[in-house]
Amino acid sequence: MSRLMQAGAVRGLARLLAPLLAAALLVPLAACTPQPARPDRESADDGRPRAGTVRVLASSELADMVPLLEEARKATGITVRPTWTGTLDAVGQLASGKADGAYDAVWLSSNDYLRLDPDAARRVTSETPLMASPVALGVRPATVERLGWDTEQVTWAQVHRAVADGKLTYGMTDPERSNSGFSALVSVASGLSGAQAALTDADVRAASPKLKEFFAGQRLTSGSSGWLASAYARRSTVDALINYESVLLSLNRDSSTGLTVIRPRDGVVTADYPLSTLATAAPSAKDAVRALTEHLRSPAVQRAMTGQTLRRPVVASARPAGPLSPEARRELPFPGSRSVADGLLSAYEHQLRRPSRTVYVLDTSGSMRGKRLQQLKSALTGLTGDFREREEVTLLPFGTSVKQVRTHTVDPADPKAGPAAIRADTAALTAEGDTAIYSSLAAAYDHLGPDTESAFTSVVLMTDGENTAGRSAADFTAFYRSLPPARQATPVFPIVFGDSDRSELDRIAALTGGRLFDGTKEQGPGSLDGAFEEIRGYQ
């Protein structure tokens, strides 16, 4: 079952308050909320509730709201203490009860996930949308001209035809780990199925042939919008990105990409960024969330919000920022049931998208003996339940040199055999030798070869130390830069673990267009298990 299915609930947006009432309520609510104490360094991070502070579990894309939250603190006396996470990870914490007592509110790009599982929804007592951003297609201007598109008339059917004809390639975030990815998946499936209401299982089955053609054109995948944008900038052969309108416009503003932002006229799914109070929050915290909500919905703040984040205001008296087209688009409904969403995700993961090819370059040098090797084995064994059908997984353990190269494929005809073989190889790992990081990375690129088009290819590097044998960093840099551009497109995702040199691994990620992950904690986010799991969104 997908991680998305750990979330959901019953729809119910809080009623919008009239502007005069909002203005009248803001002052007394802020006044009755105690002013935040000035915490010391230790107490600021211990996660405990404090007067005048709202602990918020928030989608990582909302980090661009930090300046506005600081202005809100000055205006209301309420300090927001965010914990940034992926939307689906946040929903999982809610559904499992881990958020109870740890947070006062949750602020996601959308609460649609909550509406699929009562265990998550019953923990939310109110939700109020603060801004909006629809799914959109950002296309290189030269591609728009080549396709002859009228940007105001483009439909998902036209986009599908361009992809099917081999005239358009694109990037999109992973629907199982990113709300923008799932919203894009729903938008495409709804548009290509012709569904006039919430998607059904029959709609998904009917649209599957077209969806398979559509996702054959996906050349980039990612667990986050930020990395997707940077990967897009590196790969000039990719024509477009599917993401939230605000992400695409911000990319234009902050770089020289100049994407043409298109909202298909047959409809899109829109994020409404609701600030939601948790049932377990203390009464004073609930008052603070309400005051903060009213402040963020005030016309002046809504104008500042749309100008800074390029999201759309939800208050009629605030006009959208200049780059935002005023013309409305049909809103496509989210799947109405858990089974439909689960079926759509399963079809995407196992049938529709291109398969993955990953080489796991695993440090099994002498320093990994004992607990560290056991942690590695545990993380890899746990990961085998997440491998997709048609996925190719290579284990490349190394010490002084590469010890062996074992490749397994998850065969749809026998999907349990491949993961079982990977678990057996993992159990047989032993720790000995020095640490030949760069020679082993070069071996991984040689193993993958020139074929980077038929699958999402990547390299995962896990090491607990510094390079002590084989090629040097300079040698590997020269090797990598000598590769053809198509092979250079394969990123390395290093994991910081044990005594490994973070700066050294960061340079490997920067050189290859990958991203550094943290595996230094004992458990949870930032652990080795968590790092391997998070990387799945990039494969």
DSSP string of 333-374, one letter each residue? PPPSSHHHHHHHHHHIIIIISPPEEEEEEEE-SGGGTTHHHH
Whether the pLDDT of residue 64 is over 50: the answer is: yes
Domain ranges of the chain: 3-132+272-309, 134-270+331-347, 355-538
Within 13 A of 495's CA, how many CA atoms are on the CB side? 29
Burial per residue of 499-510, b for 16 or more beta-carbon CB atoms within 10 angstroms, e otherwise: ebeeebbebbbe
Q: What is the mean pLDDT of residues 207-219?
A: 95
What is the CA angle 396-398-404, rounded to 5?
50
The more confident residue out of 60 and 461 is 461
SS3 328: coil
Which two structure tokens, joined as six digits, stand for 355? 């398969």
Within 13 A of 271's CA, how many CA atoms are on the CB side? 27
Q: What is the mean pLDDT of residues 430-439?
A: 97
How many CB atoms are closer than 10 A to CB 393?
26
Whether the pLDDT of residue 113 is over 90: the answer is: no
Q: Round to the nearest angstrom and report the end-to-end CA distance of the chain.
A: 18
CB 276 within 8 A of CB 124: yes
DSSP lists the bridge partners of residue 202 as none
Interatomic CA distance for residues 99 and 278, integer angstroms:
9
Whole-prediction pTM: 0.84
- Whether domain 134-270+331-347 has CATH 3.40.190.10: yes
Q: What is the mean pLDDT of residues 256-271?
A: 91
Model confidence at 526, pLDDT cuts 50, 70, 90, reads confident
Model confidence at 528, pLDDT cuts 50, 70, 90, reads very high
SS3 191: helix
Whether the pLDDT of residue 327 is over 90: the answer is: no
Q: What is the mean pLDDT of residues 413-417?
A: 96
Interatomic CA distance for residues 20 and 62, integer angstroms:
28
Domains 3-132+272-309 and 355-538 share a fold: no
CB 335 within 8 A of CB 110: no
Q: What is the mean pLDDT of residues 205-229?
A: 91
Crossing angle of helices 417-427 and 371-383, in 10° steps, is 180
Interatomic CA distance for residues 212 and 389, integer angstroms:
15
Which two structure tokens, joined as six digits, stand for 54? 């709202």
Q: What is the mean pLDDT of residues 482-497?
A: 94
By DSSP bridging, strand 270-271 and strand 492-496 are: unpaired
Q: What is the pLDDT of residue 47?
A: 60
Model confidence at 92, pLDDT cuts 50, 70, 90, reads confident
CB 340 within 8 A of CB 200: yes
Q: What is the mean pLDDT of the chain?
A: 88
CATH fold for domain 3-132+272-309? D-Maltodextrin-Binding Protein; domain 2 (3.40.190)
CB 475 within 8 A of CB 482: no
Q: What is the mean pLDDT of residues 298-318?
A: 96
Q: What is the pLDDT of residue 46?
A: 54
CATH homologous superfamily for the domain 355-538: von Willebrand factor, type A domain (3.40.50.410)
CB 432 within 8 A of CB 488: no
Q: What is the pLDDT of residue 231?
A: 84
Q: What are phi and psi of 509, to 5 degrees?
A: -60, -45
Model confidence at 292, pLDDT cuts 50, 70, 90, reads very high
